[in-house]
Amino acid sequence: MMISVPDLLDTDTVARVRQIIDAAPWINGNATSGPQAALAKNNEQLAEGSPAAREAGTIILNALGNSPLFFAAALPLKVYPPLFNRYGEGQTFGTHVDNAVRIQRGSDFRLRSDLSVTVFLEDPDAYDGGVLVVEDYFGTQQVKLPAGHAVVYPSSSLHHVTPVTRGVRTASFFWLQSMVRDNDARRLLFGLDQSIQRLTGQLGGGDRSVIELTGTYHNLLRRWADA
């Protein structure tokens, strides 16, 4: 399941994040790559755990916590501290799959990567190329969203970023472990949640059917969740 999260960051927040990260030193993007990804990756990123990455990452984590759509889609249990990358002209990231387990360097924090997240930090008309292409059972999807928008997709999918031919593509990326490990179960819960939200708007939260469907949602979540 792939879900877009519009306006995760508003314009002022995007500008604040860019102010922080643009002033910081950037390093070779392979600093966090596994052996397979290192063969395909050509970009730059902020050093993991650097002051700028921590400050900007906290802003993004706070925005995630205020997004009902993100929570409904991801049902996050653990979120990896956001990282930041950029692609200049000629840079790309070939087809790869994300590591199944992500370990934060210098700590005992680790998570199973169920979902990958990209938060776009540059408007699409500012660069050519740099399209995120995700291949999964739902088909091949091409993603290039406005600054402040995010996309959530299965970490198990094959994906790549097409070469940038003009400008610079800047984004945040990270992974999360969901309370619900199974992708199909998450998809069913998300569909049920969205239906409940629509019915609540039409019938009100006190409607008996809405209450019963809400109970079904929580009982399914109780059955499937590891929390």
Domains and CATH numbers, the chain: 3-178 (2.60.120.620), 183-224 (4.10.860)
Alpha helices in 66-179 (DSSP H): 68-74
pLDDT band at residue 39, thresholds of 50, 70 and 90?
A: low
Q: Is the pLDDT of residue 34 over 60?
A: no
Residue 154's closest CA among 180, 121, 192? 180
pLDDT value for 100 = 96
pLDDT value for 106 = 83
The answer to whether the beta carbons of residues 89 and 165 sit under 8 Å apart is yes
Can you read off the two tokens belonging to residue 200?
């609540």
Question: What sign does the dihedral 98-180-187-203 (CA atoms) show?
Answer: negative
pLDDT value for 36 = 59
pLDDT in tens, 187-209: 999 999 999 999 999 999 999 99
Can you read off the two tokens belonging to residue 83?
């990282």
d(CA 178, CA 30): 26
| H or E element, residue 152 | strand 150-154
pLDDT in tens, 2-12: 999 999 999 99
pLDDT band at residue 130, thresholds of 50, 70 and 90?
A: very high
pLDDT in tens, 132-157: 999 988 789 999 999 999 999 999 99
